[in-house]
Structure 1
Amino acid sequence: MDISDIATREFVEVDANKRLGKVRAIFERENPKGIIVTEDGEYVGIITQKQLVQSHVEDDAKAGAMVRSAPKVERTADVRKVARVLVEGGTKVAPVFQGEELWGIITEDAILEAVIENLDALTIEQIYTEDVITVREDTNVGQIVNLLRKHSISRLPVLDETEGLTGMVTRHDIVDVVVRDMNKATRGDRSGEIERVLDMPVYDIMNSPVETADPSDSVRDAVSRMLEHDFAGLVVTDDVNHVIGIVTKTDVLRALTYTEEDHMDVQITNISLLDTISRADIREDISSVADKYQAMQVQHAHVRFHEHKEKLRGTPLIQCQIRLRTNKGQAAGSGEGYGAEMAFNVALDKLERNVLERKGVQADEEYRGQLLRKLGEL
């Protein structure tokens, strides 16, 4: 199946000179995955909801000020390849071209709808993300925005005093409440209105109850529910409603790109941020860490880069997150540095400590088992 079978020619398009306030209103009203920006009829780039939440750009600025590049996809590209392009580009939508002409767009939802019947073989336990950032019901919206920006994520589970799951807050929830209240306020009142919104507890805007999933559920069932309710992800919980992970549409797309190649498959999100380090370097360094724990076989590695605004002599501060999916569970490490290579090395050091700590725990468990067996023989 190539991408032309599932791409659409219907998409939201704005001119680069349109005010950002109007663009924000489009997201609030229509909730598109992304908006295509053109200038004089020519493709310029896209604007995503994520950008608007992370931006301090005023409503009077032009859409062109917020444009970001998105990976271009050919009409004849393979679906699996396009899934990788979306994941590595850190986007949910990409423009589809026929030669030099913008033909349409492809979204992650369209890909998932096309492959959903083939997802019964996977369970959530095989693909979900274990390390989840959570917040409490009294966390204010300003803190939520900072967490979404810092970790470049789209949703946060909300917990009560007993660590039980009570709600979920997403980027769209924040955009919705901000745009709604800005529309009510006059221009002079807007600064105070923004402050009021940022001071609100998340309890006032979160979604509740929350759609959850069990680790043993099929991925097909999870995707079906995500598409039906327009959720980007589901919280994975244990028997007592404690959060143990999250599974997102991006996790499913990433699973579609797993390969059976001889070497370890490494997937990199925001690959454009790589400067003095290559994919081959990253694969080699991660392999050297994994080899220190021989019993751990790495099935897939995901390396995610995120650029902050801060710079040092022109080099941006980068956050790097490394996550390994192995036959012994997940292992992860994260870190920051100026430039992708420094950030990756800091994250790799953290990953190595976590892997060696896991090895120590395993050794302790084996020793305990041996001791119990010896005691049983007495």
Structure 2
Amino acid sequence: MTVERIMSKNPLYVKETDLMTHARQVMRDHFLRGVPVVDNSMRVSGILTDADILEIRDTKSNITVKGYVRTVPMITPETEILKAARLMLEAAHHRVPVVSGLDRQLVGIISDVDILAAVKPTKKSPLFIEEIMMTDMITCYPDDSITKVWHQMLEHDYTGIPVVSHSNETIGMVTRRDIIKAGYARVAEIDGRGAKTGEAPKVEKVMSTPMYTLPPEASLKEAIDKILQYDIGRIAVASNEKLLGIVSRSALLSACLIGTGL
């Protein structure tokens, strides 16, 4: 199966000459983690990520997108899906533009969600999610400040952090999208530059509940199905309401490539 079968056509994009403040508004309005960047000839030059736009703190700035463009692998509509998955994982991107060929005209975009919906674990993939879960993870409490969590997300490039009780019982998840959607991103940015974090809103104000969990003996397919069903970036692994680990889309995608030769 090729990328053409699963890519989204007519994606939003920004130009190299656009101001970063404009790009930030586009991404926040549409809750995008990444947006293709094109030059004046509509050739794809790369992608702009939410981590890049969050570096711009001022509401007015003459900084353009061009200086923040990240390179992307060349993926065309004819690229095999599994090859595209490997290229995305190696580049550490969750969304990648699809180009027409050597002229690099933008024709679509593909995400790790699109690929997960189209692939299956192989015979050599791990049987249980406990084999691929990340156990060295950052968690937060409902009474933590959004400022603290926001800066942890930026420092570690996390899109979401599990929320647990002080006895490590699962409660929910707080994501960049939750904070941005609630309008607290700007508050967190300002507080990070000097205001007292104790004055910032608490995580409990924006977190998503309940936390979607699976037991450690759940299969990869169960995890993929749940991530697709709820449109989430990660699934928590828990036993008796105690958090054990996290399985991300990237981890699941990597596991589905085992034994494919890619």
TM-score range, shorter chain: 0.7 to 0.9
Q: Distance in 2 between matches of 1:224 and 1:196?
A: 42
User: Which residue of the partner structure matches residue 88 of structure 1?
Assistant: 90
User: Which residue of the partner structure matches residue 131 of structure 2?
Assistant: 126
2:159 to 136, 154, 158: 154
Matched AA of 2:96: A
Report if the CA contact (8 A) 1:34-1:93 is conserved: yes
- Superposition pairs for residues 191-340 of structure 1, below 5 Å? 195=195, 199-239=200-240, 241-259=241-259
Report if the CA contact (8 A) 1:94-1:106 is conserved: yes
Q: Distance in 2 between matches of 1:86 and 1:74?
A: 13
Q: CA deviation at 1:156?
A: 0.9
**What secondary structure is seen at the aligned counterpart in 2 of 1:250?**
helix
Q: Deviations over 1:139-183 (max 9, x none)?
A: 22222123223322221111222221222111222332347868x
Report if the CA contact (8 A) 1:50-1:171 is conserved: no
Count of residues in correspondence between the two structures: 253
Matched AA of 1:133: I
Report if the CA contact (8 A) 2:191-2:200 is conserved: no
Q: CA deviation at 1:71?
A: 1.8
Root-mean-square deviation (CA, aligned residues, Å) is 3.0
**What secondary structure is seen at the aligned counterpart in 2 of 1:80?**
helix
Q: CA deviation at 1:91?
A: 0.6
**What secondary structure is seen at the aligned counterpart in 2 of 1:236?**
strand
The structure with more radius of gyration: 1
Q: CA deviation at 1:208?
A: 1.8
Q: Distance in 1 between matches of 2:238 and 2:108?
A: 38
Q: Distance in 1 between matches of 2:173 and 2:184?
A: 19
Q: Distance in 1 between matches of 2:157 and 2:170?
A: 22
Quick check: which one's helix share is greater? 1
Report if the CA contact (8 A) 1:166-1:210 is conserved: yes
Percent same amino acid among aligned pairs?
Answer: 23
Query: Which runs of no fewer than 5 residues in structure 1 stay unpaired?
Result: 183-189, 266-378
Q: Deviations over 1:212-255 (max 9, x none)?
A: 1112223223222222222001111112x111001111111111
Query: Which runs of no fewer than 5 residues in structure 2 stay unpaired?
Result: none
What TM-score, normalized by structure 2, do the two folds share?
Answer: 0.83
**What secondary structure is seen at the aligned counterpart in 2 of 1:115?**
coil
Q: Answer 1 or 2: higher relative contact order, Cα 8 Å, separation at least 6.
A: 2
Q: Deviations over 1:284-304 (max 9, x none)?
A: xxxxxxxxxxxxxxxxxxxxx
What TM-score, normalized by structure 1, do the two folds share?
Answer: 0.59
Quick check: which one's strand share is greater? 1
